[in-house]
Amino acid sequence: MFPRVLFLLLLALNIGGACWIAFAPAPAAELKPVSDVGVPALVLLSERDGSSRAASAVQPAAASAATARGDESCLSIGPFQTQSDMRASLGALTPQVLRIQYRDERATQSRGYWVFLAAKKTREDALVIARSLSSKGVRDYYVVTAGEQLNTISLGLFRERANAERRKAEIAAMGFAPQLIERTEELPVYWIDFSKASGKDLDWRALVANAAGLEARAIDCF
């Protein structure tokens, strides 16, 4: 009898313990600190007192800069034909202006004028024309023997257009049909842009290298 009672008692204790484990409330989780000890926590700008005052404080500075720009005028001078002239002028102008920069462009420049007779189909045809020129007293001509102008008869290169026109008329009077074209090439040129106070007189020509041939243009300030 006693063993049976002891068994039932132990069974009841086991059932009670299992129910306690299954239905007991979970312990509250320990909250970890949001930052390490000794390190201040981050605060959003919108959470700080006086943040609107901080934002508005930037506006007067921007307005002041805009006002200052209104008291400036900007020029671009050039074109400088060589980089060395541009750099020398840049160094001379820098202490006299508020801001300065340089830039480069590609410019088409004349290399003179060419008078010629159009290319013939064969070299033999070109030589026939050359002998005809020679018989009329023309000595300064050249039959092109290679390249894109093969079998063209060159009648001269001229720096001045007036001289080229005179040569063309001379050959045309002999019964030929000469042509005249301007020879060009693209070369780099340089410009200097600078800003100065509107009321300041600046004789930039006295400061730059090889001022002859340079021009000044008003530009938007940068």
One fold for 66-107+187-219 and 109-185: yes
Paired residues of 193 in beta bridges: 76, 101
pLDDT of residue 172: 96
Give the pLDDT of residue 67: 43
User: What is the chain's Cα-based Rg?
Assistant: 45
3: cis peptide before it, omega within 30°? Answer: no
What is the pLDDT at residue 7? 67
Distance CA 199, CA 82 (A): 31
Q: Provide the residue ranges of all domains of the chain, joining segments of one domain with +.
A: 66-107+187-219, 109-185
Quickly tell me which residue has 């730059």 as its tokens: 208
Residue 63, pLDDT score:
37
Q: What tens-digit pLDDT sequence spans the chain (222 residues)?
A: 666 656 666 666 777 666 656 665 555 555 555 555 555 555 554 555 444 343 333 343 433 444 455 689 999 999 999 999 999 999 999 999 999 999 999 988 888 999 999 999 999 999 999 999 999 999 899 999 999 899 999 999 999 999 999 999 999 999 999 999 999 988 899 999 999 998 888 999 999 988 888 999 999 999
User: What six digits make up the tokens of 148?
Assistant: 């894109």
Looking at residue 11, its pLDDT comes to: 67
Residues 205, 75: Cα–Cα separation, whole Å: 13
Q: Are 133 and 153 in contact (CB under 8 A)?
A: yes
- Superfamily of the domain at 109-185: Sporulation related repeat (3.30.70.1070)
Give the span between the Cα atoms of 94 and 12, in whole angstroms.
Answer: 99
Select from 216, 163, 164 the least CA-distant residue to 192.
Answer: 216
Written as one letter, the residue type at 78 is: G
CATH of 66-107+187-219, one of 1.10.357.140, 3.40.50.1970, 3.40.50.150, 3.30.70.920: 3.30.70.920
Task: List, edge to edge, every strand of the sheet that includes 153-158.
Answer: 142-143, 153-158, 99-117, 179-197, 72-80, 215-219
User: Which residues lie below 8 Å from residue 129, measured CB to CB, with a gap of 6+?
Assistant: 117, 120, 153, 176
Q: What is the C-alpha to C-alpha distance for residues 146 and 148, in angstroms, rounded to an integer? A: 7
Q: Taking Cα atoms as reference points, which of 118, 123, 77 lies closest to residue 97?
A: 77
Q: Does the pTM of the predicted model rise above 0.85?
A: no
Residues 152 and 114 sit within 8 Å (Cβ to Cβ)? no
Backbone angles phi, psi at 187, to 5 degrees: -130, 150
**How many Å apart are CA 68 and CA 130, to the nearest integer?**
71
How many H helices and E strands in the chain?
5, 6
Q: Is the dihedral of CA 54, 58, 59, 60 positive or negative?
A: positive
